[in-house]
């Protein structure tokens, strides 16, 4: 497995963390709301706690237990200062009036994909999915699948059964023809269980690729706590960098912090290997944490065209808003 080594960058970030500590009160409390049960997308948070990066920044960070209330709702209502969310959630909720803003891109490349069993010789490209059964999740995902099929020359006509996380078992058993998954988690798990799969990438068929997972905050919190926000993101960035350079140790830290949830060590370690080798946490050019405006705006335009964005009154919008206030890189260390 590749390891990332950049001692000068590490030193600069640690210096930033220590410098910002002087601007934040000692042991400032910061709460973070997760988007799902703890997994490797969250690993930088747990590493930063365990390795003392938050302590050095003068922060007492509380990672809230996952609940049915979305992280965006908790952040926009001031219950959490930060949260984890996908860019689709950020765009849809902010357009609808929620006070949320993306401030850190956890992954630098799209981790989502369309998957099907490898022995399906009748599926060679998305147009072959016409007439087949999709184990779906509701929301925008049907639109994404339909566009992939149409952009490949098909009709976009398929049957959908909404199964949630049961989709993966249904696919393995041959009860459905295809589904969507996260390559660095469900994809890793399928390989561990000996399920041979093939996949299609969204962006190869006209659907904008995403930086799939982000850290969010709110304008209210950022305006009231700018130095605490900078300290938190600098320490969190160092947590993700440390995890990318020490994936096995980081996986152990994540499991030790969540022993009742993360019981499959092979999956957690395999997921970390996939995140590091795929250059998801740190891009090929060394980028870490930075949100790509071009990709964010392209996704926003796509969601507008899809007719899924609604304003505060619940009316569907037809013209793309200015997405500039939806995200910021200003709180990241330079």
Span 135-142, average pLDDT = 91
The residue behind tokens 């979305």 is 70
pLDDT category at 118 given cuts 50, 70, 90 is very high
Beta bridge partners of 179: 115, 135
Distance CA 125, CA 38 (A): 34
Count CA within 13 A, CB hemisphere, residue 333: 23
CA distance 334 to 329: 9
Mean pLDDT lowest among 25-34, 180-189, 287-296: 25-34
Question: Alpha helices, DSSP H only, in the chain?
Answer: 7-21, 43-50, 53-56, 71-76, 87-95, 141-151, 167-172, 186-192, 219-224, 226-245, 247-257, 265-277, 293-306
What does the pLDDT average to over 98-122? 97
Work out the average pLDDT over 125-152: 96
DSSP 205: G
Token pair recorded at residue 257? 């912090």
What distance in Å separates the CA atoms of residue 243 and residue 263, rounded to the nearest whole number? Answer: 19
* Adjacent-strand bridge partners of 115: 179, 199
- Does 3 score more than 70 pLDDT? no
Tokens 């007492």 belong to which residue?
A: 60
Percent with pLDDT over 70 in the chain: 92
Higher pLDDT among residues 165 and 131, named by residue: 131
Angle between helices 7-21 and 226-245 (to 10 degrees): 150
- Has residue 23 got a pLDDT over 80? no
Digit-coded pLDDT (tens) for 176-201: 999 999 999 999 999 999 999 999 99
Tell me how far apart the alpha carbons of residues 136 and 242 are, in angstroms, rounded to a whole number: 35
Q: By the 8 A CB rule, do 251 and 268 touch? A: yes
Arithmetic mean of pLDDT, 154-180: 94
Q: In what order do the strands lie in the sheet containing 159-162? A: 159-162, 133-136, 178-182, 112-117, 197-200
pLDDT at 289: 98
The pLDDT of residue 241 is 98
**The pLDDT value given to residue 83:** 98
pLDDT tens, position by position, 61-102: 999 989 999 999 999 999 999 999 999 999 999 999 999 999
> Which of the pair, 165 or 44, is modelled with greater confidence?
44
Percentage, residues of the chain above pLDDT 90:
88
CA–CA separation, 300 vs 208, rounded Å?
A: 9
- pLDDT of the residue at 5: 37
Does the pLDDT value for residue 13 go beyond 60? no
Residue 224 contacts residue 331 (beta carbons within 8 Å): no
- How do beta strands 133-136 and 101-105 pair? unpaired
Tokens of 7: 């001692």
27 confidence band (pLDDT: 50, 70, 90): low
State the chain's mean pLDDT as an integer: 92
CA angle, 142 then 147 then 151, to 5°: 155
Task: Kindly report, residue by residue over 204-263, the tens digit of the pLDDT.
Answer: 999 999 999 999 999 999 999 999 999 999 999 999 999 999 999 999 999 999 999 999
Integer Cα distance of 223 and 330 in angstroms: 12
Strand-pair partners of 214: 85, 105
Torsion of CA 39, 43, 49, 55, to 10 degrees: -140
- Judge contact between 216 and 84, C-beta under 8 A: yes
């Amino acid at each position: 497995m590749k390891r990332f080594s950049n001692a000068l960058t590490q030193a600069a970030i640690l210096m930033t963390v220590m410098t910002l500590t002087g601007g934040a009160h000692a042991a400032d409390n910061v709460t973070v709301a997760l988007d799902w049960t703890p997994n490797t997308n969250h690993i930088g948070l747990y590493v930063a706690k365990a390795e003392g990066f938050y302590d050095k920044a003068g922060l007492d960070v509380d990672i809230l237990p996952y609940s049915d209330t979305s992280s965006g709702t908790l952040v926009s209502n001031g219950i959490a200062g930060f949260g984890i969310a996908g860019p689709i959630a950020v765009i849809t909720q902010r357009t609808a009036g929620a006070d949320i803003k993306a401030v850190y891109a956890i992954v630098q490349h799209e981790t989502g994909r369309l998957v099907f069993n490898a022995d399906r010789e009748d599926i060679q490209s998305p147009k072959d999915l016409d007439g087949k059964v999709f184990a779906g999740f509701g929301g925008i995902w049907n639109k994404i699948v339909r566009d992939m099929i149409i952009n490949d020359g098909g009709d976009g006509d398929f049957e959908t059964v909404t199964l949630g996380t049961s989709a993966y078992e249904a696919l393995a058993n041959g009860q459905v023809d295809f589904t969507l998954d996260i390559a660095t988690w469900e994809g890793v798990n399928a390989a561990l269980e000996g399920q041979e799969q093939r996949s299609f990438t969204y962006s190869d068929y006209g659907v904008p690729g995403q930086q799939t997972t982000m850290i969010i905050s709110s304008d209210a919190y950022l305006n009231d706590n700018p130095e605490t926000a900078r300290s938190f993101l600098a320490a969190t960035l160092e947590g993700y960098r440390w995890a990318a350079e020490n994936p096995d140790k980081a996986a152990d830290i994540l499991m030790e912090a969540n022993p009742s949830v993360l019981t499959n060590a092979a999956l957690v370690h395999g997921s970390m290997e996939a995140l590091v080798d795929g250059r998801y946490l740190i891009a090929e050019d060394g980028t870490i944490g930075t949100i790509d405006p071009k990709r964010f705006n392209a996704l926003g335009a796509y969601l507008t065209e899809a007719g899924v964005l609604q304003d505060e009154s619940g009316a569907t919008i037809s013209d793309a808003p200015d997405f500039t206030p939806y995200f910021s890189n200003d709180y990241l260390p330079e």
